[in-house]
Structure 1
Amino acid sequence: MSWLSLALRFFRRDWRSGEMRLLVLALIVAVAAVSAVGFFTDRVEQAMIRQANQVLAADLVLSSNNPIPESFEKQANQLELQIAHTLTFPSVIVHQDETQLVEVKAVSKNYPLRGDLRIRTESTASEQVVTLPPTPGNLWGEARLMAALNLQPGADVSLGEARFSLQNILSRDSALGNSFFRLGPEVMIALEDIPKTGLVTPASRVRYRLLIAGDQTQVATYKRWASNELPTGVRLEHLSSARPELRNALDRGSRFLGLAALVAVLVAGATVALSTRQFVERQSDTSAIMRCLGASQSMIFSVLIFRLCLLGLIASLLGIAGGWLAQHFLAGLLSDWFGGELPPTSLRPVLIGLGTGMITLIGFTLPPAIRLGAVPPLRVLRRDLGAPPVSTWLLIFFSIGAMALLMFWQAGDFILALWVLLGTVTTVCLLLMTAWLLVRVLTPLRHRGGALWRQGLAGLARAPAMTALQLTGFGLGILAMLLLSIIRLDLLSAWQHTIPDQAPNHFLINIQPDDVNSLNSFFQENNIQQAGIYPMLRARLTHINSQPVSPDQYQDDRAQRLVAREFNLSWATQIQEDNQIVSGSWWEERNQDKPLFSVEVDLANTLGIKIGDQLAFDLAGVPIEARVSNLRRVHWDSFQPNFFVVGTPTLLKSHPTNYITSFYLPPGKEASLAALVRQFPSITIIDVSAIMQQIREIMQRGSLAVEYVFLFTLAAGLLMLYAGIQASRDYRRQEAIVLRTLGLQRKGLLTAAAIEFVTLGLLAGTLATLCANVTGWFIATEVFGFQFNMNAWTLLIGIIGSGAAIGVAGIIATWPLSIKPPLRMLQNG
């Protein structure tokens, strides 16, 4: 008989065995949990990217001060992408004898390609979502325009040489979120109305935009083509070029989803590891018989590998199908939360599901099973395999490395996966050491104390390998569940609180030094809380360590954009409250007379700036040069005035300076802005409420997704608990037969089991809780930049809850052994 026929016959027999059913069920549920999380998070992440793209009103935007070449529109049409056009420029709205500086946006009929437009027909009316922009002859304006000119919908206004009917109040244009610097309120008109205004001429200050949206694969193809064809003066904008506040929100949302998926992988590995023990033990009998009948080691190995691969493939495919059905049902329930149907999933979760199933099964099953074909038959029958050879240890390390790669792949973030992996390895080491110490401590106690206590603790001491396996499996499962609980209870809460309800939603720039005191008085009189007034200077980076800087030196498009434009510089004696030093030190009072710079850390990483580097800026023709003293982490999503580069007062204070501030303006108080403009006509008001709304929506979507991912992981965790209990089923069955034969009653057997499993649960819960909180602290501070506050509920659930849950599970598993007569259990095998 060939090894293939033998393997198929063994596989059919294995499929009917109890230990195979448990292993298959564990593998299916583990892969289903990972796949469901993968499918769901993949679709949610695409939805969040689409949500973020609403800031651009498209997936890609080509912008220029001159008309976009027709070749770019032709290429988009060839790839069957959607296109739209916009023109933006500053102008003046005239109503009777009053004027108001505005930002005019002329849009094509299909604007926007992403996001939506919302209007109000009256100042007190509720918002309405509309699918079409203004029709020719009509104009929509923001509430600030209405307040400044005391207008109502239906009023006639002049724009250039044309008259318009102010039809609606523009309450939301999602693309406003990326237009941080606007000189006035936005007014929106139809693109067809531009010729009759007479405002767009070759000498006009106009920004042309070509908007692109469609299938992500085609968009990526277009992006690669456009990047190589961009003429001078044309800029390609996409999500990575969005404002740092939006990039941070999307990046954090993706990391939360990656962390939730990573926990699912961790639970899957622990579940399968616990479920393989019975399967491997049963294979020892088969291997012994085959060795006695003359089977070679290579034949046994081939039969075993084929069975494992076939089992892993079938279970993984079933798990992937179950995961897809689960996420499909959930995505249908949650589609309204994400503004419509979620985008289709990619093939990445399928590959991760297959990888999880095959790697966890073969990685945890093969190292102990491969030794069965390499030892004499008598030692196999005695279940005495001896010490594992060096090659087996190498295989174990290889399996661990494969699982680590799977975790890195699933997380999508090297630092995040690294901290979780370090936390996992540390937990496993502590659990194994604890198991060893527990056996050493309990061995002399087996003959002391009450009978039930001796019996319960002796069960842990008599089987040190089983104790180590169960303690490690339980600990890993508890670690994963606690990490996900920390995400839900602490990290998501910290994320959502990065933008308080009354975070600043307006910025003021171009504040003249003579207006600072008067502006502070205005804020006090109108009960407006502002974030402080800071100096701001515009300068261009020219040299790093005496080497000229130009966009051509960098491959990264963000680095090219940063070098090509001017920076906002400021000077300060104290570091801002929402900034944090990550490297170096802030200048002390005695060093404030030295020329020093503080640089935002992401900017430094992008441009390759290090502490001690000498930076030179061109400030309106005046060279400014100083050494980098420290690198700062800036919380851009706080919406406080922040700067990429801050200098010492001595370095910058003597140069001509404007000032900047931010403040919160409640809805309905737009009239205060009109009064501010009248009193301070040189000040520019910037409304950032649109981008704040976009970020809050990304937070809501990401938080909701993590909440539901928790349900999938919880199901996998429950199966992990069952697998951990079943791992010692045969051992406890034999022990129960002996104890029942010797006269131990049902109550005593259940009490002894409770003592054994509660002890395991308390130890595993204590160590897992400690490691989960330490790992959570590192993830919060090093990955997300949050302050970590330990939650008392995680301590209570992790320690007391684990002991209670594992104890109850142990009692339930022991109950059938306490009611069946010993003779029947022996007859049933």
Structure 2
Amino acid sequence: MIGNSGIRQAAGQPRQGLLLKWSWRELWHGQLWPVAVALTLIIACVFALAALVVRVEKIMTDQGRSVLAADLVLVSGNPIAPSLISKAEELGLTLSQQTRFGTMTFSEDQMQLVSVKAVEGDFPLRGELVLQSLQGKRNRVQPGELWLAERLFSLLEVKQGDVVAIGDTELKVSGKIEQEPELSFNPFSQMPAVLIHYDDIASTGAIQPGGRVQYRAYFAGSDDKLAALQQGIELQPGQRWLSETTQGRTGELIERARQYLSLTLILVIMMATATLVLTCQHYTSTRIETVAMMKSLGASKRWLWQWLSGQLAMLFSLAAVAGVSIGWGLEALLRLPLADVLPDPLPAMGFSPLLISLLVALLVAVPGVGISLIRLLDTPAISVIQQQADWPKPRKGYGLLLFPVAAALIWFGDNKFMWMTLAGLAVVLLLLAILGVAVVSLLRKGKWGPAMTLALSRIGRSRLTTGAQLAALTSSLMLLAVIWLLRTDLLADWQHTLPVDAPNVFAINISPDQQQRYLADLDKNRVPRSEGYPVIRGRLVAVNNSDALGEEQDPQQRDEALRRELNFTWRDTLPVHNQIVEGEWTTTSGVSVEAGLAERLGISLGDELSFNVNSQPFSATVNSIRLVEWRNMRPNFYFIFTPDVMANLPATWLVSFRIEQDQNELVNQLGRDYPTVSLLDLRTMASRIQLMLQQVSLSLSVLAGVGVVSGLLLVMTLLRLSLSQRQQEIKLYRTLGASKKRISATVWGEYGIMALLAGIMAVAGAEAVVAALVKWGFELPVQWHPTLWLILPVAAIGMVLMMISTMLRQLLQPLR
């Protein structure tokens, strides 16, 4: 403790050395170390999550563009216009063209329908093309070459060097396509692929007027030039752009994981900020006499600012170093479960995570610390001899709140998800505080023992204080529960979306006379399979006799389902993995529509829909609306008809089944026994998605653990500050003759009741907030969590009483 002479010396002639020494002593022996912990937690979490998001976004962009084989792709039903090529060249973009068409290929003994991709010599612009021949590996297609998908070698019964006819030309087989960047996960449109050079298209003679041909232009370049190209080109009917944001089966998974990361980050910042504010308020209350004494000895406000500024500068510097160091390690920990799916080397994170974490901490600290310290500096000198609990509070300090508020407006912008979360939390906390006060008032009307009566009296003495304490304790528990419940619901959804027994092989183009034998062979080998589905391709052309294509002038504005042929099927019964949400399943003159498409196109029960299949028109009445989970790798359809509507149309059959890694021979045998049936083997892709689900789940669990730690820190701070404020009251009780046992029982009863109420209200609040977020934010089905109603209140009581047990012994120690 520094004596009066030291204070006079410091106040009269400030010495930087003494000021620094005193600031350092105050930092560690005062009440500021919890502030440093809170700031460290904020910086560490923001740094780790920002770094992870930066890396993931770069990886997602790179991987998405690798799957596209370019940065941007134009898909067209007509040849690419020379004006578009000239525009791309003017912008300095790299361009590569491709033409796709279906045709028959003929070997000496076999024939097969294939998808021909005629590519230029610089294809692909992104990703990797691997071509395997007896001479080694290649990654470019040259004129006169023919590269086959691996299964075509057995279907056509050819080997490298054999001649295969494509249209009017004959080409020697150059080798097999081992890997190509463009992946298609649509089992209905999958045909075995062959690659030829762009210059060989004319010699095939396969492209005829009226034929189904697709033209693609691949572009690579900077984002601003790509955007300029898109803005400068008016799309024609049958044209559309493809980018990394429109591709990728796992895009929704990653997007929801990013939403969870962002939301958890906000909740962790909120809890750490609450810890910061409470600690600063307690620090202010413990330093009133010190500041008043220094003022009475002649210390000016300027000198006090220097004294406090030194402490804050050291505090923020220590928190920044510790936070960035911990954040670096935390980011590595969050990334560790994703090691198998992240590329090597990793994309650089840059300096943005460092700047963002320090800026967020500074914006939080400015009002969190500043308001309390401004009030502290306005302490009157007379407080040395007389407590001035109600000295004027400087309203100018609350202007500091404008800094984080302005930053939040800029950061969140029009992000309805975040604003909905914050508004929901505010409303729920207010309602819970009011409810808590009402419950305490009801409890006080009952008859209890002396200790419990005194505890309830202590709780209900000030409704404002009780409401604030209950709201603070409830909010910490509720935010903790929200983080964990969202994680649980996301993981449950992903597990439901792609269970471990999900199908991973599709057999398509099964002829009607093969269908029963094919299913029997699967059953004989005990292969888990779906039912067989008849499949035929067609278009929706009208809704209630109104042209479905004519209402939108811009083809790009049409729904994706109207821009292409769809896959139709018919059944007597509802698929087991679909759910009726409107209407009922019928067996005659009807069609069941997928719920999302029905909502987008305004289709309702009873509407008459007109279709066209192979130039044959027909219509059906909407009898039901179905909920379809498109991500579960099962056969799913926009439209399912009753058998009488389409039974006379020619169709092939589809079945999906699950093959384990040790059943490769069975897949090969099916290919030999049914050479006309196309097998789409998705085992590699399914395993990849499963692995990603597991690893993202681990990362979310680590992140949820960070949220739990921040919540526990807030609860500990609340209890520690609340009990320290009770110290004088406990001394008064002892002076008036209360026994240690009676005081302990009263304190235990008071905080036990508050813990029970806070636990119950936290569960109710968490269920409400999570239900809103899940329904309108993540667009998932709402689930309730009955076990949480037991676990959280019991855990809250146990945690609170355990902390009180330790702290209470310290408070009662001087009275022994």
Counterpart-to-counterpart distance in 1, 2:641 and 2:652: 15
Counterpart secondary structure, 2:540: strand
For residues 710-749 of structure 1, what are the structure 2 equivalents within 5 Å?
710-728=704-722, 730-735=724-729, 737-738=731-732
Return closer, same or farther for 1:420/1:640 CA change in 2, 3 Å cut-off.
farther
The answer to whether the Cα contact below 8 Å between 2:188 and 2:567 also exists between their aligned partners in 1 is: no
Report the TM-score, using the length of structure 1 for normalisation. Answer: 0.73
Partner of 2:612: 619
Partner of 1:549: 549
- Alpha-carbon deviations, 1:761-784, whole Å to 9, x = none? 443233323433454455445555
Return closer, same or farther for 1:501/1:49 CA change in 2, 3 Å cut-off.
farther
The answer to whether the Cα contact below 8 Å between 1:615 and 1:628 also exists between their aligned partners in 2 is: yes
* Unmatched tracts of structure 2, length 5 or more: 1-13
Counterpart-to-counterpart distance in 2, 1:361 and 1:602: 48
Return closer, same or farther for 1:777/1:574 CA change in 2, 3 Å cut-off.
farther
Partner of 2:479: 480
Residue type of the alignment partner of 1:239:
E
Q: Does 1:441 align with 2:438?
A: no
Residue type of the alignment partner of 1:808:
M
Partner of 2:758: 764
Counterpart-to-counterpart distance in 2, 1:586 and 1:402: 49
Residue type of the alignment partner of 2:500:
D
The answer to whether the Cα contact below 8 Å between 1:86 and 1:210 also exists between their aligned partners in 2 is: yes
The answer to whether the Cα contact below 8 Å between 1:523 and 1:530 also exists between their aligned partners in 2 is: no
Counterpart-to-counterpart distance in 1, 2:746 and 2:91: 70
- Alpha-carbon deviations, 1:69-91, whole Å to 9, x = none? 67767877887877666554445
Q: CA deviation at 1:636?
A: 0.5
Q: CA deviation at 1:250?
A: 4.2
Partner of 1:601: 596
For residues 177-196 of structure 1, what are the structure 2 equivalents within 5 Å?
177=184, 180-182=187-189, 184-188=191-195, 191=197, 194=200
Counterpart-to-counterpart distance in 1, 2:630 and 2:715: 43
Q: Does 1:39 align with 2:48?
A: no
For residues 227-238 of structure 1, what are the structure 2 equivalents within 5 Å?
227-229=231-233, 232=236, 234-238=239-243
Q: CA deviation at 1:663?
A: 0.9
Residue type of the alignment partner of 2:656:
F
- Alpha-carbon deviations, 1:701-742, whole Å to 9, x = none? 533432332343244234323322333254133345556777
- Alpha-carbon deviations, 1:161-204, whole Å to 9, x = none? 5655565573x545223565545323456x48957985777878
Q: CA deviation at 1:538?
A: 0.9
Q: CA deviation at 1:29?
A: 1.9
Q: CA deviation at 1:236?
A: 1.8
Partner of 1:531: 531
Counterpart-to-counterpart distance in 1, 2:129 and 2:45: 38
Q: Does 1:239 align with 2:244?
A: yes
Counterpart secondary structure, 2:68: coil
Q: Which moved more, 1:571-580 or 1:343-352?
A: 343-352
Counterpart-to-counterpart distance in 1, 2:284 and 2:202: 83
Partner of 2:793: 799
Q: CA deviation at 1:338?
A: 1.2
Give the paired residue count. Answer: 785
The answer to whether the Cα contact below 8 Å between 2:58 and 2:347 also exists between their aligned partners in 1 is: yes
Aligned CA-pair RMSD: 5.8
Return closer, same or farther for 1:282/1:572 CA change in 2, 3 Å cut-off.
farther
Counterpart secondary structure, 1:103: strand
* Unmatched tracts of structure 1, length 5 or more: 1-5, 123-128, 294-298, 824-829
Partner of 1:296: none
Report the TM-score, using the length of structure 2 for normalisation. Answer: 0.74
The answer to whether the Cα contact below 8 Å between 1:140 and 1:169 also exists between their aligned partners in 2 is: yes
Q: CA deviation at 1:224?
A: 4.4
Residue type of the alignment partner of 1:586:
G
Q: Does 1:671 align with 2:668?
A: yes
The answer to whether the Cα contact below 8 Å between 1:316 and 1:358 also exists between their aligned partners in 2 is: no
Residue type of the alignment partner of 1:540:
L
Counterpart-to-counterpart distance in 1, 2:775 and 2:84: 44
Return closer, same or farther for 1:535/1:419 CA change in 2, 3 Å cut-off.
farther
Counterpart secondary structure, 1:727: helix
Partner of 2:420: 418
The answer to whether the Cα contact below 8 Å between 2:77 and 2:215 also exists between their aligned partners in 1 is: yes
Partner of 2:3: none
For residues 87-236 of structure 1, what are the structure 2 equivalents within 5 Å?
87-91=99-103, 96-105=108-117, 132=139, 141-149=148-156, 156=162, 158=164, 160=166, 161=169, 164=172, 167=175, 170=178, 173-177=180-184, 180-182=187-189, 184-188=191-195, 191=197, 194=200, 198=204, 207-212=214-219, 218-219=222-223, 221-229=225-233, 232=236, 234-236=239-241
Counterpart-to-counterpart distance in 1, 2:510 and 2:657: 17
The answer to whether the Cα contact below 8 Å between 1:479 and 1:769 also exists between their aligned partners in 2 is: yes
- Alpha-carbon deviations, 1:13-65, whole Å to 9, x = none? 99946445433542442343244323323432443454444442444223345
The answer to whether the Cα contact below 8 Å between 1:36 and 1:327 also exists between their aligned partners in 2 is: yes
**Structure number with higher relative contact order (C-alpha < 8 Å, ≥ 6 residues apart):** 1
Q: CA deviation at 1:222?
A: 0.5
Counterpart-to-counterpart distance in 2, 1:534 and 1:377: 89
Q: CA deviation at 1:283?
A: 8.7
Partner of 1:278: 282
Counterpart-to-counterpart distance in 2, 1:306 and 1:613: 73
Residue type of the alignment partner of 1:530:
S
Residue type of the alignment partner of 1:33:
C
Q: Which moved more, 1:412-421 or 1:771-780?
A: 412-421
Q: CA deviation at 1:463?
A: 6.7
Return closer, same or farther for 1:93/1:200 CA change in 2, 3 Å cut-off.
closer
Q: CA deviation at 1:347?
A: 8.5
Counterpart secondary structure, 1:598: strand
Q: Which moved more, 1:701-710 or 1:614-623?
A: 614-623
Choose the corresponding residue for 1:261, options 261, 265, 275.
265
Counterpart-to-counterpart distance in 2, 1:73 and 1:704: 47
Counterpart-to-counterpart distance in 1, 2:241 and 2:726: 67
Provide the identity percentage. Answer: 23
The answer to whether the Cα contact below 8 Å between 1:540 and 1:618 also exists between their aligned partners in 2 is: yes
- Alpha-carbon deviations, 1:231-250, whole Å to 9, x = none? 6465321234337x555444
Return closer, same or farther for 1:405/1:514 CA change in 2, 3 Å cut-off.
farther
Q: Between Structure 1 and Structure 2, whose CA radius of gyration is higher?
A: 2
Partner of 1:126: none
Counterpart-to-counterpart distance in 1, 2:154 and 2:741: 80
